[in-house]
Structure 1
Amino acid sequence: MSPSSQTRADVVVVGGGVVGASIAHHLAAGSADVLLCEQGIAPGQGATSRSGGLLRLHHTAHCDTRLAARSLPVFQNWQDTVGGECGYRRTGFVMLVAEKYADSLRRNSAAVEESGGHSELIDPADLTELYPGLGLDGVGAVAYEPAGGYADPVAAAGTLLAAARRRGARVADGMCVRRLLTTGDRISGVETNLGQVSAPVVVLASGAWSGRDLAGAVGVTVEVAPRRIGLALAAVPGAGAGDSGAQLPTCIDDTTGTYFRPSGNDGLYFGVPSNPAVRLGTDVEPLTPDEVAAAKDAVATRVKAVGGAQLLGSKAGFDGYTPDRRPLIGPAGPDGLYLATGFSGGGFKTAPAVGELVAAEVLGGAGVAGRAEEPLLTPYRPGRFVAGRPVVGDFTYERM
């Protein structure tokens, strides 16, 4: 749609990834007149489409655990809570650490239980009975979440936007927000490639590029930098099949710095770490053979079948990373500007809760005048770096 057909909204959401889609859905459910601006020709094709889609509650910062625990039931009951399918598949999630981090693992696992989820410590030898395709040499301690697994980020974003549309939200593909408009010391709308839209509240959920042109132009420093993210798909017959639902779990392995999860019955997605030497421009550089090979070797430490497996494809894109690798969520700068960005590769699993809580703050006035604080979002406020209060892990591991 073009702004010329209707030039006003209660809230403009900038960014059509899964976080922006969730915010728009919840705002529309609260009867707000919402316009979502997505610069691509289809929403969810940025960082969302490059997400591994892992669903887990285990985190080293317990504020993250609480958001993930609030979100998981939504994924599990997506058809009833949102509508359509999000591709949720329960494989179980395992967190692998070295022996010296066993106590931290125990404490973080307890935080999952305290947040309403279920996590248990399992002897590494016993885990191989659950997942016969998993090797555990060098693993000293394991936390297991039976309800963990994965979902399809693009499908989730698409169904959230469909739900928002059913509630009256307008979703504008190919609409690039070029400038935030202000009147005095408050937001008054946005200027797009298709014209101006007036709105008293703008939510920036545009990921890697949120701080470069938009917020910076109105004097707001957004501590978000673009970083390349990637994953690859290997053919591993039976990876997602078996009597228990999967021969392999969704897994984060702190001992090797890898993550992986099944894809359907016969595939395995695994993460490819970002190479800091790769130039970050406006176009995404594909993953190189050396990058994929190194990641594949690391995963083969746990899944031997990956070593000789055929590669079926790869994905690379940008996401926005903050100094503490946690998102910026909350009012910032001119009255009416609200940030929901910088999810640092981890936004998918918390998107339902983030959308719900951000909408509650905006509709309650926090996006306008600082009212209606949501305690679960307090650790993520945009001013925390200036105040010297970055989010830190409660009980950390070697790489997390």
Structure 2
Amino acid sequence: MALSDEDAASGYALSCVAKVKGDVTIETEIEPPASQAVATVTLAKSGKAFLVESGETVLDAALREGLALPYGCRGGACGACKGALMSGEVGYDNEVQGLTDDEQANGVILTCVAKPKGDLLLDIELIESASEIKVEQFPAKIALMENLGGDVMRLGLKLPESSRMQFLAGQYVEFILDDGERRAFSIANAPHDDELLEFHIRHVDGGKFTDQLFNKMRPGDLLRIEGPMGSFFVREDSERPMIMLATGTGFGPVKGIVEHLIAEKSQRPIYIYWGGDAEDALYLDSLATEWDRQHSDIHYRPVLSKAGDGWKGRKGHVQDAAVADFTSVAGFEMYACGNPGMVYAAKDLMVANGMSEEHCYSDAFEAAPSSK
């Protein structure tokens, strides 16, 4: 690259070849340094370890790595994130509220606000079961309403600054309507990325909640939710290959699970079959395609049941496409989410082709009554 006469006349110089004659003042842009790891935290009971970057708390680093440590407020007040230091030292930016003097003297820390001063060995339990997470009600403000194509919206909800909802990838929450009725929707983001709770919601004509959401609600409106709920979540203690089946917005919890496994740097093979009537039903096809391209362990197969003449992908139903790809599915796990017909048929088909019934996990989206 060379300087034009105009640039040179204006005082620009190429620092890589310019030689200084006397004192000079240079105005330039310097890229900020990349984040650097300042500590390694090892969890004594599981043996798992993760790096903490400069400025991060222990909890933030663990969640970034896909490790489900317990937490509540994420502000150092509730005490839900307590862990016991076996070695190492931490510091806090502010006075600690959620610990007694005795706890601090005995090495108990609050992972949500504790910052390592070096490597740590920490005694704390990983969350591996839905029963270990408290189900609570939260007020939630609509922060994002994004059309994903056709009749599907990405809804982002923001909880109060003092609140966080811990959940396992794949679980759902219930939206509590003004009259007390409830509607269940799956969480579409991974637990480590919880600035907003993400939901993929299809507009059902005459639907009591979705008519209100699509036609009347706006960013800033308040909702009330309760969660997390459900047994549809990734089993962390397994290394089995995963067959993930989704129809329609059943892709939402699949997205949350896959993004969690990517953050966790899991090497489990994942085979995703996402089905719909037509191409526009696969509203985040480009995202799933990118997973397939970037990660050698992730394999994405879109499937259309009413494919047009120009469709070059798989045709039929997702469960049939999946079993056609394997001689046997013994040793696999199935995660199926979407319309009940697919979910029930998929379980029967997988078991008939060698999968253990106890390794079939599902979430059937039952339709709510119409308001009309």
| TM class by smaller structure | under 0.3
TM-score (norm 1): 0.23
Structure with greater contact order relative to length (CA < 8 Å, sep ≥ 6): 1
State the structure with more CA Rg. 2
**TM-score when scaled to structure 2?**
0.24
- More helix, by proportion: 1
